[in-house]
Structure 1
Amino acid sequence: MMYRDSADVKVASAGIVVKTGRKWQAQEAISRAETRRRHKTLVGSVAMGRAGLGSFPRPRYDRARDKEKRQLVQDEIRAELEEERHSKMVSMSKQGAWTRWEHAEARKLTWAELWRAEPLRTKFLIQSVYDVLPSLANLHTWGLADTPECKLCQRRGTLEHILSCCPKALGEGRYRWHHDQVLKSLADSICVAIQYSKSQVTPKQSITFIRAGQKANQQPSSAGGLLTTARDWQLQVDLGTKLKFPANIAPTSLRPDMVLTSDSTKQVVLLELTVPWEDRIDEANERKRAKYCELTTECRSNGWRARCESVEIGCRGFAGHSQQRVFKLLDIRGQQLRKATKNILEATEKASRWLWIRRGDPWCATWTQAGV
């Protein structure tokens, strides 16, 4: 494009052809990209999600010049290649299962993270996402095992069964241990956020200037998160000892994973963590909300401002949308949010990898302490 659209007449008319290989031709890719861009110009801006028309303006290809025009074509070529990859993955029932994770957050691994990570951790993460780990079900499919049955419960030993569905592993406390490892990391992140909110100084009220003849905007400025509304937040976590829900709020035998309370403002937040298979994140969210719906209503009837939030972290290390929603509610943002998310996902991966390694062995608490 630089040769073709050059301001120098001799360069533009030289007919320079860039050779790029047998499987991909630059000239053909540019021609398709320019056609797609012209079509988008004719269609115009379209609504996306709940945003109104024109909320996401796009640069027009017919008005772009030089560098901006080349950048638009490059972006279009990348988008076309990504569409081809995605359509190929959708057609794969096993390796393309991640394309159906509608309620899981997208995750990117940088080169720096890959460089610092242990090779076995990266290998487990990639193989678990594409479900190509040597589970008994896969080995039987590949002709390398006589039976696909799980060594613990004699059911089909798929990766989903090993990490999330084995009744024998559930009875032995393996999944409870896995859940507590993630809960510990989540609780640490919230404790840091509580301490940080207590150390913050209340910002001064700013003065807003308006033009002559205009009306002042009566809408209040965006306030901080829930943690900034009080200085006496207390966090109770169901780790080690059995958590008892505060009797002065509501008598109940239920045990949420975390209870966040503020006596001065009479606020209570019930936080429930689930570590499901990524395909069942939405089901887990609905189930947990329904479980604590009556308790939340009773707390409100007793004069407390109560809310129940469910957090889902996929057992392969992919966070559900609910995690970002809860962190936004608590005003955990920026670098603090990135660090908390990284710690939680790493704890999930590490615990899942330990479950995988000990999938056919007897369960022992000393092994879990040594492994994690």
Structure 2
Amino acid sequence: MVVDECHHHVSDVIYFQSTIKQPKPLNTTALYEKPVLQLPIASITEEYKAGKARTVMMLRYSKDQSIRENPPKVRTGRKWNAEEAVNRAIGILKHADIVGATQEARAGLGTSSFRPFCKSSVKEMKEAVVHEVRKEEEERRNVHLVQCS
């Protein structure tokens, strides 16, 4: 996959072995752990998936009725499907609507703002779905890091 190859090359370029004074890792763990020198880098795969999800949402909520009724397929390869990821993200957001506002940590009820997905504008829906796809990719990356440690 082209994105994995780009990710590998970027991680080689970004890794400042002389500055960090650490041995070169066998995987991308060094990009995401918290060493002495923190590198603020988002995953290329995450950006790719967010862009494809944004494209799917743009086609689904297009102003042109013919595109909205029969959107073209977004080509992503065989490992990941943008349509399925967007459907999964929409399902998660609709489930959050059913559950409603929940307490997070010690903050208590009512301290965080909760906007139901079904009452959001189209722009907010698109942003929420892309954010959910990013969150899913970040979770996958964290699982990978835990498995490596």
TM-score using structure 2 length? 0.57
Structure 2 partner of 1:91: 147
Q: Distance in 2 between matches of 1:85 and 1:53?
A: 30
Amino acid at match of 1:25: N
- The 5-angstrom pairing of residues 102-181 of structure 1 reads none
Residue identity over aligned pairs, in percent, reads: 38
Matched residue SS, 1:47: coil
In the TM superposition, what is the alpha-carbon distance from 1:90 to its structure 2 partner?
1.7
Q: Within the alignment, does 1:39 sit opposite 2:104 as a pair?
A: no
Amino acid at match of 1:53: L
* CA deviation map 1:65-85 (0-9, x unaligned): 221110000000000111111
For 1:30, which of 77, 86, 108 is the aligned residue? Answer: 86
Structure 2 partner of 1:80: 136
In the TM superposition, what is the alpha-carbon distance from 1:21 to its structure 2 partner?
2.1
- The 5-angstrom pairing of residues 254-293 of structure 1 reads none
Structure 2 partner of 1:4: 60
Q: Distance in 1 between matches of 2:59 and 2:111?
A: 36
Amino acid at match of 1:48: E
Amino acid at match of 2:119: R
Q: Distance in 1 between matches of 2:79 and 2:116?
A: 30
Q: Distance in 1 between matches of 2:146 and 2:123?
A: 35
Structure 2 partner of 1:56: 112
Q: Distance in 2 between matches of 1:45 and 1:14?
A: 35
* CA deviation map 1:23-64 (0-9, x unaligned): 221101101101111111111111112212021123211111
In the TM superposition, what is the alpha-carbon distance from 1:7 to its structure 2 partner?
3.0
Structure 1 partner of 2:124: 68
Amino acid at match of 1:39: H
- Name the structure where helix makes up a greater proportion of residues: 2
Q: Distance in 2 between matches of 1:15 and 1:92?
A: 40
- Structure 2 unaligned runs (5+)? 1-56
Amino acid at match of 1:64: S
Q: Distance in 2 between matches of 1:10 and 1:89?
A: 44
* CA deviation map 1:258-316 (0-9, x unaligned): xxxxxxxxxxxxxxxxxxxxxxxxxxxxxxxxxxxxxxxxxxxxxxxxxxxxxxxxxxx
TM-score using structure 1 length? 0.24
**Higher RCO (CA < 8 A, seq sep 6+):** 2
In the TM superposition, what is the alpha-carbon distance from 1:91 to its structure 2 partner?
2.4
Structure number with greater Rg is 1
- Root-mean-square deviation (CA), in Å? 1.4
Q: Distance in 1 between matches of 2:133 and 2:115?
A: 16
Q: Distance in 1 between matches of 2:115 and 2:129?
A: 12
Q: Distance in 2 between matches of 1:19 and 1:58?
A: 34
Matched residue SS, 2:112: coil
Q: Distance in 2 between matches of 1:26 and 1:65?
A: 22
- The 5-angstrom pairing of residues 8-23 of structure 1 reads 8-23=64-79
